Structure 1
Amino acid sequence: MSVIKNPIIPGMAPDPSILRVGEDYYIATSTFHWKPAIQIFHSRDLANWKLLTYALDDEEVDLQGTNTPAGIWAPHLSYDKQTGKYWLAFCHIQNMAGREFNAESYIMSADQITGPWTKPAYLTSIGFDPSLFHDEDGKHYAAVLEWETREGYQAPGHIVIAEVDLPSGRVHEWHRVTTGFTTRGCVEAPQIYRHDGYYYLLLASGGTGYAHGVEIGRSKEIFGPYEPDPTGEPIITSSPHHLFSLGDPDAGHFEMYNPHSKLQKSGHGSLVETPDGRWYMAHLTSRPLPGQKLNPLGRETALQEMRWTQEGWLELADGSNLAKETVTVPGTVKQDRQAFDVEDHFAADHYDHRFMTPYHGQSSDWVTVQDGHLLISGRNSLFSQVAPSIMGTRATSLHYDLQTKVTFHPDHYSETAGVGLYYDANNWFYVRLVQADNERETVLRVLQAKQGQRVDDYLDEVPVPDESVEVRLRYDEGQVVVAYRFTSQDEWQQLGGRYDLAYLSDEGVNGEPGEIGGFTGLFNFIGAVDAYQHQSVGKFAYYSVHNRD
């Protein structure tokens, strides 16, 4: 046995759905407004995880205009042993205004986890966070949250289950089975398991903030009635003290912050059994900045060992319900934390598949590899929710260096190319080559978006003599120092002061008081803008992110 450290997948990897087929483990996670959509990670030892593939390609879902934090939510992986097919259920949140939460849920299948996946088949619009369960008798069931919009009714609604025909996705009658097994409320993300003659219903509860948790109930019949876990509390959480929050559809619950826990917001889990009969739960978690309740890295994936009690209930291996920073896994394994570094010199005419783009897909129309350089054609401004030319990778540490070399010739003040940090279209930090205000030279200058407001740091610009510069951003717990050099023999020079970018976090973006503005996570990126003629091209020699954990 080996002791490993959480999170097992750092950075934006929320709502994990874990699955084992043979010796292989897979985890699917949400991607929200980022494409390609639905990350699928792979491991053979539960400790080391690498991005294997994405389930949705660029043509299968339109995310242009998506508001934070809508988009692709809570994918659920399953495997039908009778047919040997992998199944994936997911929802596309299209609107959150007026708390309507308009969602379309889909299912699709594949013979291999890497695809090709079938075209998504429509399942329902009753709510969000769908899952599939393949019973031993060959029947299939879907579970989902039925979103409640009526005044005076318990929000966010009932968990409902229906038999579903596969592969068509035709849904039979929905059965309302529960509004939750504890008083935390805000239940969602239902998942069904069968163990020792019982159907177990696993739920996320307490909202997406500091009260988040995992709760469980069981029944002899799939449509219930389900009895709640006798503790009356979540079986996993970061904040074990009691909370009564029924009727609250979701909230940050900042009062539930646990100063004694390294992990916060632990909840939304899924179960897996190892070949030797051990049970584990993958769940989301967050790591705030020290002394703050801001989470730049968003919701990450953690792992906990579980056990079944003599009475047939599930609990953490140590008998508590507090999510732990370390976990014991089978075998002799060592975590490779450097696996989440990125070092790409754009060789062999391709770029790292960990690059993602907000709101729209990557295509040769705007991003290509040529002669060992990544060429990015400028288009909309970074405020755009339609077609920003951004190539981003998930930030996976609170201490790291982001570095690139960019060559760019602007013919107009609306043309730029550079490097930065990005949360969404309203919140980002961009160090870019841009035409000087006198329109006679190229300069390096910082531009920010903070909750939709544009901040141009024009007083700290520096001329770039040959329109080529190396830029390094050193990130430490929400603070960033920018440095530049014109040749590899030059000393690094600082640009501007120390930038406070802690607002690039789930709680720092455009949320209402008491709410979380987003739950996606910070990205590093290189990109270009051309609001002039859409003809300029930024030329990037390399892209590196080195974590300093």
Structure 2
Amino acid sequence: MATIQNPIISGMAPDPSIIRVGDDYYIATSTFHWTPAVQIFHSTDLVNWQLLTYALTNHEIDLRGTSTPAGIWAPHLSYDPTTKKFWLAYSHMQNMAGREFNSDSFAMWATDIEGPWSKPIYLTSIGFDPALLHAENGKHYLSILEWETRTGYQAPGHIVIAEVDLDNGGIIGDWHRVTTGFTTRGCAEAPQLYQHNGYYYLLLAAGGTGYAHGVEIGRSKRIFGPYESDPTNEPIITSSPNHLFSLGDPDAGHFEMFNPKAQIQKSGHGSLVQTTDGEWYVAHLMSRPLPNTKLNPLGRETALQKMTWTADGWLRMADGSNLAKATVEAPKNSSDVRQDLTLNDIHEDFQGATYDNRFMTPYREQKSAWVNTTSNPGQLTIKGENSFFSKLNPAIMATRATSFNYSVTTQLTFKPTHYSQTAGLGLYYDSNNWVYLHLTQAENESGTVLKLLQAKLGERIDHVFTEIAVPNSTAELQLTYVNGSLSLFDRLPEQSAWTPFGKTLDVTYLSDEGVNGDPGEIGGFTGLFNFIGSVDAYQHNSHAEFNYYTVINHEQGDHNNGK
């Protein structure tokens, strides 16, 4: 019997929205301040998943200046069998200061999942996490969280539903407030509507984005309610089944709900799909803390749980519990497939006109004016621009970290003519939190050296006493990450062996809980990336040439540094 090994999508892949069209399954996930926006993954068996495309690729959004973790939130995929159109609804979170949470929500459609997608159709600014239901009556309904800003009212607000005009945008008639949640965990959000056996089912995320996260459900015979809660009055999927009363808490880390017996944590925010053989699964987000910590560097990932319907019409995990599992029974027709353990490795030598589609960029779009493989064929050319503290134009090409044990390697040629010109390899969470091993101009302004710069909670840390000369302005660089410890290596052209560079760094702060958070809160919920990039705060005219980019993931405990 084949099994699904969670996470099915490793690294930053939160808020999964899953659909099946024919024999193909698709999942859309949030991308926050990263572009291209909205990752869309594909599978034919629910076991093996690959990044297929992105949805927002035609200048629909400008994320420059976005504060972590704002940006593009909770995309929702749907398919209208009547018009044979794919639909994508999403929120653009523009401001989170003062807990005002200013967000505009849009919908787009395409006749092919790979696009082209229509221009965004404005829906509402009432809140965030929009989802569409193409109902059996031919109408279209929008469900969303109505964000509450009034003092003394239950936060974060009501789940609301309205009929929506998908031709012209906007809602038809009034919003209907249907619930503030189906359990006492509070923080109800991410409403997903389904029709099944005469009922409208409303699937919600609950408990916040931390360790109390869960999936809860209610149902009604009428689209606008009233909705009755699942009779257990508890989440149907969670990593922490203990009862929690947290009404009125708009969101929190809930570190007290960490479950030391659970293999995966923070399970919640679910989306339902039926297989071709009539089996049911829920895709949901999850996290994996570093060993012996509550720090999650990989952000929130995507998992699947097998589900079943009870005789009285309620959705349950197939094993009868509500504890999310790391290993799940695969669909019956998946008996001959296995998850590819090397799926997340990357080997890019930049020989073609395009490069690996897993490369993403924070805040800005990837444009040939600053990154391309045509200026110098066989190499990726990155034109240096803003400091990496910038939220406007950092010249960064990054891929999601997907393992606690991996190496990332590159070779570059860079000839700086000013001390503010740099190029190299690093780890990146956001503009306030990163590590950067780079070539730059020697302090005497003659020649090239290798140095290390770090950002931690917005503080600039310059490792001034650790540097080496790079005579030919060409070097191979390697970072090895093992359970939050980072070792750095270099290899010059005349060398055959890798040389350790400086001391091993503790980079556990590059995690959702380690960045910019108030006590008890999650500082971010995006995830760690590996990157190559360049800075030029002189004339914006320097160029770095990268010959290759390789990421190799290892089994836990299996790693040889500098290989």
Q: TM-score range by the shorter chain?
A: over 0.9
Q: 1:390 is paired with a residue of what secondary structure?
A: strand
Question: What CA distance in whole angstroms lies between the structure 2 residues aligned with 1:237 and 1:290?
Answer: 20
Structure 1 equivalent of residue 558 of structure 2? none
**Superposed, which structure 2 residues align to 1:118-197 within 5 Å?**
118-172=118-172, 173-197=174-198
What's the CA shift for 1:542?
A: 0.1
Alignment counterpart, residue 487 of structure 1, candidates 487, 490, 493: 493
Q: Residue type of the partner of 2:429?
A: Y
What's the CA shift for 1:167?
A: 2.2
Query: 1:479-531 deviations in whole A, cap 9, x for unaligned?
Result: 01001111275211000011100000000000111111100000000000000
Say whether residues 1:496 and 2:502 are aligned partners.
yes
Structure 2 equivalent of residue 93 of structure 1? 93
- Fraction of identical pairs, as percent: 67
Contact 1:409 1:467 in 2 (8 A): yes
Q: Residue type of the partner of 2:150?
A: R
Structure 2 equivalent of residue 29 of structure 1? 29
Q: Residue type of the partner of 2:232?
A: T
Question: What CA distance in whole angstroms lies between the structure 2 residues aligned with 1:180 and 1:375?
Answer: 50
Q: Residue type of the partner of 1:100?
A: E
Say whether residues 1:59 and 2:63 are aligned partners.
no
**Superposed, which structure 2 residues align to 1:494-533 within 5 Å?**
494-533=500-539
What's the CA shift for 1:437?
A: 1.5
Say whether residues 1:420 and 2:426 are aligned partners.
yes
Question: What CA distance in whole angstroms lies between the structure 2 residues aligned with 1:407 and 1:535?
Answer: 15
Tell me: CA distance 1:33–1:58, structure 2 relative to 1, closer, same or farther (3 Å). Answer: farther
Question: What CA distance in whole angstroms lies between the structure 2 residues aligned with 1:71 and 1:62?
Answer: 9
Say whether residues 1:389 and 2:395 are aligned partners.
yes
What's the CA shift for 1:353?
A: 1.1
Contact 1:58 1:360 in 2 (8 A): no
Q: 1:338 is paired with a residue of what secondary structure?
A: coil
Query: 1:78-99 deviations in whole A, cap 9, x for unaligned?
Result: 0001110000000000000000
Q: 1:337 is paired with a residue of what secondary structure?
A: coil
Runs of 4+ in 1 over 4 A off after TM superposition: none
Question: What CA distance in whole angstroms lies between the structure 1 residues aligned with 2:515 and 2:494?
Answer: 36
Contact 2:124 2:170 in 1 (8 A): no
What's the CA shift for 1:103?
A: 0.2
| Structure 2 unaligned blocks of 5 or more | 556-563
Contact 1:401 1:545 in 2 (8 A): yes
Question: What CA distance in whole angstroms lies between the structure 2 residues aligned with 1:88 and 1:385?
Answer: 26
Q: Residue type of the partner of 1:410?
A: P
Q: Residue type of the partner of 1:97?
A: A
Tell me: CA distance 1:368–1:232, structure 2 relative to 1, closer, same or farther (3 Å). Answer: same
Q: 1:347 is paired with a residue of what secondary structure?
A: coil
Alignment counterpart, residue 483 of structure 2, candidates 477, 486, 490: 477
Question: What CA distance in whole angstroms lies between the structure 2 residues aligned with 1:389 and 1:403?
Answer: 18
What's the CA shift for 1:337?
A: 1.9
RMSD, matched Cα: 0.8
What's the CA shift for 1:170?
A: 2.6
Contact 2:536 2:542 in 1 (8 A): yes
Question: What CA distance in whole angstroms lies between the structure 2 residues aligned with 1:222 and 1:345?
Answer: 53
Contact 1:27 1:42 in 2 (8 A): yes
Alignment counterpart, residue 470 of structure 2, candidates 460, 464, 479: 464
Contact 1:36 1:58 in 2 (8 A): no
Question: What CA distance in whole angstroms lies between the structure 2 residues aligned with 1:484 and 1:312?
Answer: 60
Alignment counterpart, residue 364 of structure 2, candidates 360, 365, 384: 360
Say whether residues 1:339 and 2:343 are aligned partners.
yes
Structure 2 equivalent of residue 211 of structure 1? 212
What's the CA shift for 1:351?
A: 1.1
| Structure 1 unaligned blocks of 5 or more | none
Aligned length: 549
Q: 2:502 is paired with a residue of what secondary structure?
A: strand
Structure 1 equivalent of residue 7 of structure 2? 7
Contact 2:4 2:46 in 1 (8 A): no
What's the CA shift for 1:245?
A: 0.1
**Superposed, which structure 2 residues align to 1:235-250 within 5 Å?**
235-250=236-251
Q: Residue type of the partner of 1:503?
A: Y
Structure 2 equivalent of residue 80 of structure 1? 80
What's the CA shift for 1:311?
A: 1.1
Structure 1 equivalent of residue 314 of structure 2? 313
Contact 1:481 1:498 in 2 (8 A): yes
Q: Residue type of the partner of 1:425?
A: S
Question: What CA distance in whole angstroms lies between the structure 1 residues aligned with 2:169 and 2:86?
Answer: 15
Contact 2:3 2:47 in 1 (8 A): no
Q: Normalising by structure 1, report the TM-score.
A: 0.99
Question: What CA distance in whole angstroms lies between the structure 2 residues aligned with 1:523 and 1:166?
Answer: 36
Q: Normalising by structure 2, report the TM-score.
A: 0.97
Say whether residues 1:429 and 2:429 are aligned partners.
no
What's the CA shift for 1:160?
A: 0.1
Q: Residue type of the partner of 1:497?
A: K
Contact 1:446 1:457 in 2 (8 A): yes
Q: Residue type of the partner of 2:244?
A: L
Question: What CA distance in whole angstroms lies between the structure 1 residues aligned with 2:114 and 2:502?
Answer: 45
Question: What CA distance in whole angstroms lies between the structure 1 residues aligned with 2:391 and 2:378?
Answer: 30
Question: What CA distance in whole angstroms lies between the structure 2 residues aligned with 1:458 and 1:167?
Answer: 59
Question: What CA distance in whole angstroms lies between the structure 1 residues aligned with 2:402 and 2:116?
Answer: 29
Say whether residues 1:17 and 2:23 are aligned partners.
no
What's the CA shift for 1:312?
A: 0.6
Contact 2:286 2:302 in 1 (8 A): yes
Which stretch of the first structure deviates more once superposed, 456-465 or 221-230? 456-465
What's the CA shift for 1:262?
A: 1.4
Question: What CA distance in whole angstroms lies between the structure 2 residues aligned with 1:383 and 1:266?
Answer: 32
What's the CA shift for 1:4?
A: 2.4
What's the CA shift for 1:441?
A: 2.2
Contact 1:413 1:437 in 2 (8 A): yes
Question: What CA distance in whole angstroms lies between the structure 2 residues aligned with 1:386 and 1:456?
Answer: 22
Alignment counterpart, residue 349 of structure 1, candidates 329, 350, 353: 353
What's the CA shift for 1:339?
A: 1.1
Say whether residues 1:283 and 2:289 are aligned partners.
no
Q: 2:418 is paired with a residue of what secondary structure?
A: coil
